[in-house]
Structure 1
Amino acid sequence: MTNTEYPNPLLNITDLPKFDLFHVEHVELAIDQLLAENRVQIERLVQSSEKPSWDNFIEPLESLDNRFERVWGPIGHLDSVKNSDEWHAAYTACLEKVTAYHSEMGQNKGLFDKFTALAESVEFSDYSLAQKKVIENALRNFRLSGIDLPEVKQQEYQQIKQQLSQLSSQFGNNVLKSTQAWSKLIKDPEELAGLPENAMGLLQQLAEQKDQQGWLVTLDFPSYIAIMTHAENRDLRAEVYRAFGTRASDQAVNVEYDNSKIIEKIRLLRHQLAGLLGFEQYADYSLATKMAENRDQVLGFLRDLATRSKPQAEKELQTLKAFAKTELGIEDFEPWDVSFVSEKLKSATLSLSQETLRPYFPVNTVLTGLFNITETLFGVRIREKQGVPVWHKAVRFFELVDAADEVVGQFYLDLYARENKRGGAWMDSAVSRWKHSGGDLQKPVAYLVCNFTPPVGDKPACLTHDEVTTLFHEFGHGIHHLMTQMEHLDISGISGVPWDAVELPSQFMENFCWEREGLDLISSHIETGEVLPEALFDSLKASRGFQSAMMMVRQIEFALMDFELHSFYDPQEAEDILDLAQRIREEVAVVQPPEYSRMLHSFSHIFAGGYAAGYFSYKWAEVLSADAFSLFEETGILNSETGVRFKNTILAAGGSIDPMVLFKSFRGREPKIDALLRHSGIAA
């Protein structure tokens, strides 16, 4: 295709996204044209006098949905990885139109009637399980979009969805802007005593990028974690801790990005949305598409884990405080001492620190090993492809090919933190696996995004072990998306997978970072080339249980905050979010943050992402992933037969089958919590 046939490159979906050709002026024009054309086609389908069938109704709809994903997807992606005020303004303007379109489709009575007719047709019984699931999911989603509401209530639903969509985008942007608004230039290297060479290099590089002399401390995660873990300057740790913990709040240095009012508006609107659809609370609405059955089950699950973990977490904290006092002279132990003292304690008791391990994990060695593990387990090969348009020069592109050298899927890899890139790590769909009505198969493509410490100068980047596990985690999401065998859009890859099961493959992959067989493939000292020595391996293995109960209760604290925020909301007398957070901390946490702490104000997972009343999914899926991995512990860590079994059940099925059925098919029984507690070193 020549460019003249697609004057707007965003509308050209014949190949991969043309990141080198996209400009901000393309955005609104593309979305206006896309939505207008989709509406015309949908009206034709609704008005058709033909009896609806898979071929004449579902396939044309899937084609429209696929086009939508492929045009709108890159716009949202670039808002996250290459944010600018102009692009964000264009994205936000389109978000309103896109949200209105989705609400409209969800309440399109003509579409609903056609789906209902299909579900009640004689032909329905002849459809495959996957086809039936597509139709059943659609009918469920229509009901969750207010199809049964009177017209006035439908309009109210649309207005609420519109506001929520805008508020979530604003919340995330405030976090990004507030993160970028704070920095501290340090001229005297003595103030940064304790920081390893690579961290000093990073801070110097950050200063140079701003045409400054010295070392620039920012709130981007690689900079933040380096200070919290290594800086001997306790005042500096306290200052950076405060800046990070008050981002996007009334306590931040720059209060124009305060999310306080946005949080309250989001809570109220979510409650109203749930009420409109006949749910008592937003958590009930959230659970309608999850594995967990009801609020009591989720709260019981989280509190059971807390009860099992908290006594050990309290002991771990006492050990930390005692070490801080006797070895480091810290009498008045504070939250900004936790990471610093933990690293010293780990170094003293296990002869291990993230920095001791870092030289063993050069990026390319880790990638080669990760690909090797994937190839051994799942019978595919991974190769890099050059010449693909990307959004930044550091982004790389890879293909998965099968034994017959056929491309299975492809992925972009964007590893390093940089300015104007949203923090955190994530996988997103660029293209979903889907069979065109003409029979052509569209191969899946994923975005894998992390925020690791970039290479400094001409030295290759080396990862901490924490970063290695993050990479494996996101890659697990990636293979879930890429190794699906589904050919229907709504259940392909991670689509249609309940949120509390979607973390299973990602957390499953993390386990290989802790096993000798995995580490032999992903480690190679940057100078000597040796794999991780036995003494360090033993220390690393022991470290898996190091403060694991403290980490467990921290995650439960976040999950309970999220779930209770959405489970007991009363607009007349809503519990203040700071009071709610404190009440939950007193119940499950062992480290109490200072009064100024505003963690919820930057909790993008639940206010700007898809995890509202679903953050518990991480722990829920961790039970499944640990238990799934225990089969590899029994049959062999890199056992290809078990790997292929995992691929053919958990990964291949996408969202076509209930995840509990898939899990039992893989494991041969119901999930047990024992493996998670054992891996975490929690003796409960």
Structure 2
Amino acid sequence: MSNPLQELPSLPSFDRLEPEQVEPAIDAHLAACDAKLQSGLYQRGWDNAVAPLEEAQDRLSRAFSPVSHLNSVLSGPWRAPYEAALAKITNYWTELGQNRELYDLYRELAASADFASWPQARRKTIELALRDFHLGGVALEGDERTQFAANSRRLAELSSTFANNVLDATNAWTYRTEDESELTGLPDTAVETARAAAENRGERGWVITLDGPSYLAVMTHAENRDLRKMVHLAFVTRASEQGQHAGRFDNSAVMTEILALRAQQANLLGMNNYAERSLASKMAESNDVVLDFLHNLARRARPAAEREFAELQAFATEQLGLDQLEPWDIAWAAEKLKRERYAVSQEELRPYFPFPKVLKGMFAVVERLFGVTVEADSSVTVWHPDVEFFWLKRGGEKLAGFYLDPFAREKKRGGAWMDTVSTRRQGAEGLQLPVAYLVCNFSPPTGAKPSLLTHYEVTTLFHEFGHGLHHMLTRVDVGPVSGINGVAWDAVELPSQFLENWCWEPEAIAMISGHYESGEPLPEALLDKMLAAKNFQSAMFTVRQLEFALFDFQLHCREQGASAEDVQALLDQVRSEVAVVPVAPENRFQHSFSHIFAGGYAAGYYSYKWAEVLSADAFSLFEERGIFDQETGERFLRSILEQGGSRDALELFTEFRGRGPEIDALLRHSGIEA
């Protein structure tokens, strides 16, 4: 029987994929990679060694991509084959990173007389490879070399275990009621979603889950304080030793082992801590630079955040009868205050942001900015009926493609993300186009009513599409530095945060909004209120991000890792320094902090704020020249999106902006005094 993971058509054959195909396909691709490595070591040179090996590795990546993706969006039968493949692939990359012969080949190329005349993308590929060899332990000997490889394999296993525990803990908790009065205050869309959740389980009544849309609806709108408390505590104790499923999916030991192994990896490389190891591939120059950046922002933002929280507490006491705001009251009380102050709520905006209209409008915004069109292609096979496939075109020519999986469902990982299907590269068979996955977790359509988005969800969609554009609009043909590959991690959020700005511009809002029944535009009065409310509690949001970033970075500045108790103590300390809202004693946020324990943000969560400085400053040029100024859009396209990782991020930003980044635009956009 044919195996689509070995054949590798240009797009994955999701209608033919089966879990049992994974292991033989991955084994075959790994064998091909090893064969190319061995032949390249004897033939040398870019064309004979580097390019053939990179092509074989690209095929391995394309085979693993749908497996990894299906594990995230369907889980179930894909978990075991994903984990088995991950272990083999991790082992391959670990051994490759310690291959002295290959390292010597790259050093030989970098030292060759004609290296300076090589194309920029090839030079950058070699430079980044040499950096990664050092970070992969190529210089280690004996027991240290063996230990480093074993640690790498174990870390991959632990990251997967952490993510699985969070997903399983999220899916394990539900609350069912047959008394609709318990749901008083919830928007109709949330009530209907809860009813559908019960129906899907073959049960009567309504089911609340910990999926994003369900959780946020309860925390923001439920009048039932006991319900808010129950759902909040279930959410913040996921995958920990607390809560209803205490210990069942507990990430305490997983977290501790991850931190110990990361610290040991850094020490083996001659570094003081894992934060130093992390910064080796980022824009920020040192631990002190990052900590100074975060503390400086905290000093500016916390006074405003304290004022915002004091206002909220006073409002809760005077208007809501709450002498003390508890953690499960914050979002609910904030929504009440926002509605009183600005006479606007996210639920009031929902009818004007039906998902199909927002999507079509977003495509129109991108067309005006970058001259590209988006066309759906229903002939491409997908993994779920909710999913659509689109081509990105310019002048009728296909530039790239992407899958869009927008709605929340059971067994799908929470959150929103972009991932790669394939990377733009020039190979033996011609030019390979970049293809991306874009995944969100919006409330699904119910009955004849389309999915209706909050404005926050609209910005999430723009954010992920910004990542997608960075991957898809690259003009670089060398895989390791094409699209998002090779981009400094603290600059990778620049295009995503940059695109969010159009969600707040009246000219663009007119393109992405329209009442789902009548098609009428967002009323001017409602638009004015929405824009006036833009920076409502923005300082509280900023210090919340700084809490996560400081916790993450300081945690990875330790030389020896940390116990679960140490982790909690550090988080408590950071909260005492920057946080302004109360936290439940049972709160175990760190146990589900997948960004740093199961994603790529370890000692890198600060990147969101770092890149926000870049994105706000970049957008300020559009503010000066017009938000759809063609020349400025073309300049951003040429200097940032098309360059991928082929040049340093700071160099590219400076080329676009005409100077280095400045923080003033971020403070202004956030409503915080410069």
Q: TM-score under structure 1 normalisation?
A: 0.97
2:442 alignment partner AA:
F
* Partner AA of 1:522 in structure 2: I
One-letter amino acid matched to 1:22: L
Q: Which residue of 1 aligns with 2:120?
A: 129
- The 5 A counterparts of 1:556-595 are 556-570=546-560, 576-595=566-585
Kept after mapping to 1: 8 A contact 2:256/2:562: no
Partners of 1:44 and 1:656 in 2: how far apart? 27
Kindly tell me: are residues 572 and 647 of structure 1, through their superposed partners in 2, closer, same or farther at Cα, counting changes over 3 Å? closer
SS in 2 for 1:448: strand
- Asked if the contact 2:39–2:49 (Cα under 8 Å) also holds between the matched residues in 1, the reply is no
Task: Output the CA distance in 2 between the equivalents of 1:252 and 1:330.
Answer: 25
Q: Does 1:222 align with 2:222?
A: no
Map Cα deviations across residues 216-244 of structure 1 (whole Å, 9 max, x no partner).
00000100000000000001000000000
Instruction: Report the equivalent of 2:135.
Output: 144
Conservation of the 8 A alpha-carbon contact between 1:377 and 1:641: no
- For the Cα contact (< 8 Å) 1:477–1:506, is it kept in 2? yes
Q: How many Å separate the matches in 1 of 2:50 and 2:9?
A: 21
| C-alpha separation in 2, matches of 1:272 and 1:575 | 19
Amino acid at match of 1:45: G
Q: Who is 2:34 aligned against? A: 39
Give the superposition deviation at 1:454: 0.5
Give, in angstroms, the shift of residue 123 of structure 1: 2.2
1:233 aligns with 2:228: no
For the pair 1:358 / 2:353, whether they are aligned, the reply is no
Return the alpha-carbon distance in structure 2 between the equivalents of residues 91 and 636 of structure 1.
47
1:95 to 74, 81, 86: 86
Does the 8 A contact of 1:569 with 1:575 survive in 2?
no
Question: Once the two structures are superposed, what CA deviation does each residue of 1:399-442 show, in whole Å capped at 9, x if it has no partner?
Answer: 01112x1100000000000011000000001010000145x110
Deviation at 1:53, TM superposition (A): 2.0
Query: What is the match of residue 671 of structure 1?
Result: 661
- Offset at residue 575 of structure 1 (A): 6.7
Question: Structure 1 CA distance, aligned partners of 2:583 and 2:367?
Answer: 44
Alignment partner of 1:398 out of 390, 393, 397: 390
In the alignment, what sits opposite 2:21? 26
Q: Secondary structure at the match of 2:248?
A: helix
State the match for 2:644 in structure 1: 654
RMSD of aligned Cα (Å): 1.1
Alignment partner, residue 364 of structure 2: 372
Q: Which amino acid aligns with 1:588?
A: V
- Give the match for residue 204 of structure 2: 213
Q: Secondary structure at the match of 1:430?
A: strand
The amino acid that maps onto 1:672 is: E
Q: CA deviation at 1:574?
A: 8.9
- 1:58 partnered with 2:50: yes
Q: Aligned in 2, Cα 1:205/1:97: closer, same or farther, shift over 3 Å? A: same
1:302-352: CA deviations, max 9, x gaps?
010000000000010011111111111111211111110111111111011
Superposed displacement of residue 528, structure 1: 2.5
Q: What amino acid sits opposite 1:671 in the alignment?
A: P
2:262–2:561 Cα contact (<8 Å) kept: no
How big is the shift at 1:374?
Answer: 0.5
Give unpaired runs (5+ residues) of structure 2.
none
Letter matched to residue 393 of structure 1: P
How far apart in 1 are the matches of 2:648 and 2:586?
Answer: 44
Residue 527 (structure 1) shift: 2.2
Residue from 65, 69, 76 that aligns with 1:77: 69
| Deviation (angstroms), 1:572 | 8.8
Given the alignment of the two structures, is residue 278 of structure 1 paired with residue 273 of structure 2, yes or no? no
Task: Tell me, in whole angstroms, the C-alpha distance in 1 between the residues paired with 2:159 and 2:644.
Answer: 27
CA contact (8 A) 2:37 2:49 kept: no
SS at match of 1:450: strand
**Structure 1 portions without partners, runs of 5+:** none
Could you tell which deviates more after superposition, 55-64 or 154-163? Answer: 55-64
Q: In the TM superposition, what is the alpha-carbon distance from 1:41 to its structure 2 partner?
A: 2.2
Using the alignment, how far apart are the partners of 1:626 and 1:655 within structure 2?
Answer: 21
Letter in 1 for 2:18: H
Paired amino acid for 2:55: S
Q: State TM-score, norm by structure 2.
A: 0.99
| Separation of aligned partners in 1, 2:542 and 2:403 | 32
Matches of 2:343 and 2:657, distance apart in 1: 37
Give matches, 1:317-336, under 5 Å: 317-336=309-328
C-alpha deviation, 1:151, in angstroms: 3.2
Say if 1:544 and 1:679, in contact at 8 Å, map to a contact too.
Answer: no
Displacement of 1:178 in angstroms is 0.2
Q: Shift in Å at residue 148 of structure 1?
A: 0.7
CA–CA separation in structure 1 for the residues paired with 2:131 and 2:337: 52
- Contact 2:176/2:207 (<8 A) preserved: yes
1:9 aligns with 2:1: no
1:404-483 correspondence runs (5 A): 405-437=396-428, 440-483=430-473
1:476–1:509 Cα contact (<8 Å) kept: yes
Equivalents in 2 of 1:65, 1:629: separation in Å?
A: 37
1:603-662 Cα deviation digits (max 9, x unpaired)? 000000000000000000000000000111011011121111100001010001111111
SS at 1:138's partner residue? Answer: helix
Answer whether contact 2:421 2:434 (CA < 8 A) is retained. Answer: yes
Residue 252 of structure 1 deviates from its aligned partner by 2.8
* Structure 2 partner of 1:173: 164
Amino acid across the alignment from 1:125? A
The alignment status of 1:529 with 2:519, answered yes or no, reads yes
* Contact residue 557 and residue 584 of structure 1 kept, 8 A: yes
Query: Does the 8 Å contact 1:59/1:437 carry over to 2?
Result: no
Which residues of 2 match residues 179-258 of structure 1 at below 5 A? 179-254=170-245, 255-258=247-250
Q: CA contact under 8 A between 2:316 and 2:325: conserved in structure 1?
A: yes
1:665 counterpart letter in structure 2: E
Which of 473, 497, 511 is residue 507 of structure 1 equivalent to?
Answer: 497
Q: Which residue of 2 aligns with 1:260?
A: 252
Task: State the Cα distance separating 1:683 from its structure 2 match.
Answer: 2.0
Deviations 1:530-581 (A, max 9, x none): 2222211211112111000000000000000100110024359897111100
Cα distance, 1:87 vs structure 2: 1.7
- Residue 446 of structure 1 aligns with an amino acid whose one-letter code is A
Runs of 4+ aligned structure 1 residues displaced above 2 Å come to 568-575
- 2:614 maps to which of 597, 612, 624: 624
C-alpha distance in 1, partners of 2:434/2:627? 28
The residue type paired with residue 417 of structure 1 is A
Rate the CA distance shift 1:571–1:606 in 2: closer, same or farther, 3 A.
closer
**What are the Cα deviations for residues 361-420 of structure 1, in whole angstroms up to 9, with x where unaligned?**
0111101110000001101111111111111010000001112x1100000000000011
Residue of 364, 368, 381 corresponding to 1:389: 381
- Which residue, 630, 644, 649 being the options, matches 1:640? 630
Query: Paired residue for 1:311?
Result: 303
Alignment deviations for residues 512-534 of structure 1 (CA, whole Å, 9 cap, x no partner)? 00010110100001122122222
In 2, Cα distance between equivalents of 1:132 and 1:95: 30
Distance across 1 between alignment mates of 2:55 and 2:509: 43
Percent identity, aligned pairs only, is 52
